Amino acid sequence: MTDFQKNICKSLAIVLFAIVTIDCKNNSKTEFEKKTIYISNLRRAILGNGVDTGVRIIKTYPNEDNCLGNQYNANLYICKNTEDNDTLYVFSICDKVPSFAKVDLNEIFAIDHGDIKKNVPDKVIIKVPKTFSIPSNAKYVFSKLTRIED
């Protein structure tokens, strides 16, 4: 085999390796899609007495698309209520995700009871992995999350 043929073989091997590596990385990415969540399938959470409820964010699913007409885009925060350890699905409609909710912090955040929306839409649009689903009768609240300052 000539040097020219060896160089071509090496080049082809490198290109093939690069293609396989890139393809494997793309396959491991989670695909997100917009899903419509019908609120009637869920249960409004009843939070404790006082002015706020402490929660830990388990996962944040941002959807910062603009709301148009009756299309309500919502950020979704899956949280644990620190008082009773219930899982809460917190929807924040037509809003930007605060920077503290974009990173994995092991902190307690607050749902200010004064921020809880009483009149909520019949449905919201969230961006989540294709395989994601919210269990029926899951507890929800429409509110913002607040970072508790020391």
Tens digit of pLDDT for each residue in 108-140?
899 999 999 999 999 999 999 999 999 999 999
- Tell me, yes or no, whether 3 and 44 share the same domain: no
- Tell me, yes or no, whether 36 and 8 share the same domain: no
Q: Per the structure, how many domains does the chain have?
A: 2
- Tell me, yes or no, whether 3 and 64 share the same domain: no
| CA–centroid distance for 84 within its chain | 22
Can you state the percent helix, strand and coil of the chain, rounding each to 5? 25, 35, 40
- Tell me, yes or no, whether 22 and 36 share the same domain: no
- Tell me, yes or no, whether 51 and 96 share the same domain: yes
Q: Count CA within 13 A, CB hemisphere, residue 13.
A: 6
- Tell me, yes or no, whether 60 and 112 share the same domain: yes
Q: Of 3-12, 18-27, 71-80, 90-99, which gets the smallest average pLDDT? A: 18-27
- Tell me, yes or no, whether 107 and 66 share the same domain: yes
Range of the domain at 113: 32-147
- Tell me, yes or no, whether 21 and 46 share the same domain: no
Q: Count CA within 13 A, CB hemisphere, residue 138.
A: 17
- pTM (2 d.p.): 0.77
Residue 17 CB: number of other CB atoms within 10 A?
10
- Tell me, yes or no, whether 22 and 39 share the same domain: no
